[in-house]
Structure 1
């Protein structure tokens, strides 16, 4: 669900969530929700076990069992402020993870610039700084978890002392049979009390993860009705825009693209020319349905393919980059070279399509 949502996010939603955050949703949060299934039945099982143990104690010790009940309630109440702290620290920890993932992915994406400028150590220290903040919240989380564990480790002894102290105060005769029976019951009571910290910790973490995932899934999607798609062959016109007005910011009074009218027939080659910032890329975005439509109509007949200005080249031969793992079909291969106007380029190269391109296609021009 998170992956599919990431593919359909609107442009405004993408600005508030980086790829690093989305990776965290999939790797950390989704896994945590899955792990919670192990703890799903613990809350009601603990309540049932405690109730049965107190019933057995009442039969053995009478009114002194009330002291055991009160002691258990006090132990359970002690975890409320600790649980709230745990939840808060978990939120902060996940936020710092998102920040670190965002910074790391941005640095890796622009590593070439960093190496050219000699900024590696500067940005490495920045990553370490963000990591130290994350470690600080992680320490707070772990220390709070340890406090919860400590409370519940002391709890069985505290309950036993309170129970037998009440017996002495109320004058309940402590026969060996009653003492052994009560100790056995209190020992049974220890297991749910021991397991409770882990359950509380997991509930807090799962709630945080679910809230984060829910907030992400509620973000706005691209509007599916922005483009009217016609089946292939149903129209002679491939692309038609009539009185189209599009805007990246729907709240802005000025549209990004105004009064666009365009008609492109099948088989036409169209070049969109203009100065920097004139809206060429925005125009392509509106054809893809990524630029929100204010008014007008946009019709596309058939399917659409979009090739962005970010070529990705494998280290290997040119022919391997063209085939990309497929079997050689010489007729189709020649047609592709002709369509891409590559034959002239291959004639210039010493070894033609057997030329090996290095890292980042260092021996090819930008156009090639």
Structure 2
């Protein structure tokens, strides 16, 4: 922070720096902790689809097509959540900056009795921050959870309908229970994906913010002279 140039320091407030240290770093850390699940879940879904092809044959393609129908919806939900997360972090930075200014100028604030307007301004920023957070949770995560929950169920129905009505095969207990077990395994991974996608979006937003801070202009060290203390001259 001290090595930033005046122009870069004007763009980066102390509240934004504190927010990066306390929030953004933790989001990236949590993402790396669950990276193995992010790799395991798609592999598990792909493995289940391969077994479905072995059991159902070409009827499994209908389940795959059903899954791909949900891809645009999930992409739209992820884009919405990323946008809401960025706005929420902007309002949080503004609130922390205002709090830092209030604490640094607390004597002037108390002297002129500015507590009510400052408190109102902080409450407004907090309300806008929580509004964006609710949007990210309800629209982004809620939409993705609904999509990933309904996707295996609709894929199961599509596979069974294609297997019995289109291809004319009898739905024996061996086929039915084997497919239900595979879809149950797939449903567990599908239920984990919304949380993993949400955490990855938050982590990438945080990495973008930290990257912009690290790429900011710094002071030219050639313009400074380091003072060296000669201990022999003391005393």
Q: TM-score, normalised by structure 1?
A: 0.60
Alignment-derived partner of residue 324 in structure 1: none
Alignment-derived partner of residue 16 in structure 1: 11
| Structure 1 residue 76, shift from structure 2 partner | 3.4
Q: Judging by fraction of residues, say which structure has more helix.
A: 2
Choose the corresponding residue for 1:161, options 146, 157, 171. Answer: 157
Query: Over the residues paired in the alignment, what is the CA RMSD in angstroms?
Result: 1.9
Counterpart Cα distance in 2 of 1:167 and 1:176 = 13
| Structure 1 residue 44, shift from structure 2 partner | 3.1
Are residue 203 (structure 1) and residue 200 (structure 2) matched?
yes
Are residue 125 (structure 1) and residue 126 (structure 2) matched?
no
Q: Which runs of 4+ in 1 moved over 3 A?
A: 228-233
Choose the corresponding residue for 1:227, options 205, 210, 224. Answer: 224
Residues 129 and 228 from structure 1, CA distance in 2 versus in 1: closer, same or farther, beyond 3 angstroms? closer
| Structure 1 residue 230, shift from structure 2 partner | 6.8
Aligned length: 231
Counterpart Cα distance in 2 of 1:10 and 1:21 = 16
Choose the corresponding residue for 2:78, options 80, 83, 106. Answer: 83
Residues 117 and 232 from structure 1, CA distance in 2 versus in 1: closer, same or farther, beyond 3 angstroms? closer
Structure-to-structure mapping, 1:1-368, within 5 angstroms: 6-144=1-139, 145-168=141-164, 169-229=166-226, 231-232=228-229
Structure 1 contact 49–192 (Cα < 8 Å) conserved: yes
Structure 1 contact 61–172 (Cα < 8 Å) conserved: no
The unaligned stretches of length 5 or more in structure 1 are 1-5, 234-265, 268-368
CA offsets per residue over residues 82-111 of structure 1, 9 Å max, x none?
Answer: 100110101000000001101111112212
Higher relative contact order (CA 8 A, sep 6+): 2
Counterpart Cα distance in 1 of 2:98 and 2:227 = 42
Structure 1 contact 100–127 (Cα < 8 Å) conserved: yes
Counterpart Cα distance in 2 of 1:228 and 1:182 = 74
SS at match of 1:221: coil
Q: Judging by fraction of residues, say which structure has more strand.
A: 1
SS at match of 2:16: helix
| Structure 1 residue 232, shift from structure 2 partner | 4.6
CA offsets per residue over residues 23-73 of structure 1, 9 Å max, x none?
Answer: 001001011111111221334323321221111111111111111111222
